[in-house]
Structure 1
């Protein structure tokens, strides 16, 4: 695996001094790293010295993995396209998901709405973007553990002509999810499930003890029903943990196909964590079984893996030296 401090040819690193943006801001560009796949990670320094990361990338239909299924299975999904910025809502994270690098970094504080919004504005100016941007809250932190500022940021984005769409990705903090249903009808909702039984999900996501699968899916169904829009269930596939045919069958049985569809993702390597990235063929087999079970499914590509900015890989350089020690303390008998 390649890291930002040992980049291969084709990956460009820049710092604030090299940035074309020099004006004062509530956040400053500490460094910027470009991936071979065209995406770019920005590391932002907040006024108090804390660092957070965001990722900028472009999506098109060809970016997504092939989903196969029997004739008569679930309908295909129209996948998103266009410029996207994945923003952070917290410096660090206290959720402690066992597969996530950000969870190895102690929580420092919540970001303000202005700090969240500025990640998008600064990215657009650096990249000289002229077309509208899609925003997804899926960077560092759990958005619904910072509900006041995230909801305020959503309102600011809704009033921003440069932003065309906002999505929120959450592991399912039920009270805040219910509030999102009431106060943010325009957002798209992604729920990170990652398991089909509470036993496995609790070992992956300790907060499942407080908000088990049935409660999270009930809150998700309420969102979908209230706004007449399907909720995406994010499901990270881990080799030998949650990628069996039985898991696909249970997942299909858990979900109302009128309310939910499934976004499959392949886990991105994080040094020291006890998981393995699956082969693409496993994801295709799993997706086909879901489609045959009547659940619309798509496979989202892994972006920026070579610069430690893929899903679950975001952690600031200052925290990396503590990563392995903390990771070893979180090892579970999962694989």
Structure 2
């Protein structure tokens, strides 16, 4: 294994954890929102029209544009929350649509039989309609999972770590190995989650308890292992040692500034079009000003 490929694998646990931290809660909460909404849409035609129109309209917004809109709506906040909310919104449509289709596909004779044995409407829904519609609802969850895992790669520009870090950094650095690695990692994660949910769906249809339990445990284990890096505290991850070196680094920096002068010199600072470069350019501008130089910052530069 080459050193570059080894570095990519070393970064994988943290980026996979960030990716799952975005995707899994978005899908889970999306299910909690979409299934009740789907039930309400089936029961009320008045609610169904506006809800489906709104959800379908939001779905037409390009994913990167929706992420930018969320940053604006949250007052310029970047990081986890704008990415999470955008993914949550994208997860709703396939689940709510399949919930409606699944409930409407229930045989009317089954409803009549439920009424005949004295079931109340709520009992009929919970004990008859939802179990029969569950395979179709799970198909919607599969679709939402693939969508959300794929779109989560676009959360990198708004400051949320994900497998998209490989892709965006690879594009900036013209490192196609990073781009391909990020694509393969995202694709593999999508396929594994999709197939595990598919096994759960088929196990429910065929009433195979063993395969249902195994697939559910495998899915829970995958999610748990992926989320584990996010549960590590900064101190235990080695940041305490880094912080302990800060004082010495600042003293060395002050020594360099005291012995260096750029009086009368114009220094041009080039920065690419992403956040870290803007911050670095601003830091360099301040340093150059302190030693008498005249900095000129050129931002959004390409890779050439």
Q: Is TM (by shorter chain) over 0.5? A: no
Q: For the superposition of Structure 1 and Structure 2, which TM-score range results when normalised by the shorter chain?
A: under 0.3
More helix by share: 2
More strand by share: 1
| Larger RCO of the pair (alpha carbons < 8 Å, separation 6+) | 1
Please, what TM-score do these two structures have when normalized by structure 1? 0.22
Larger radius of gyration: 2
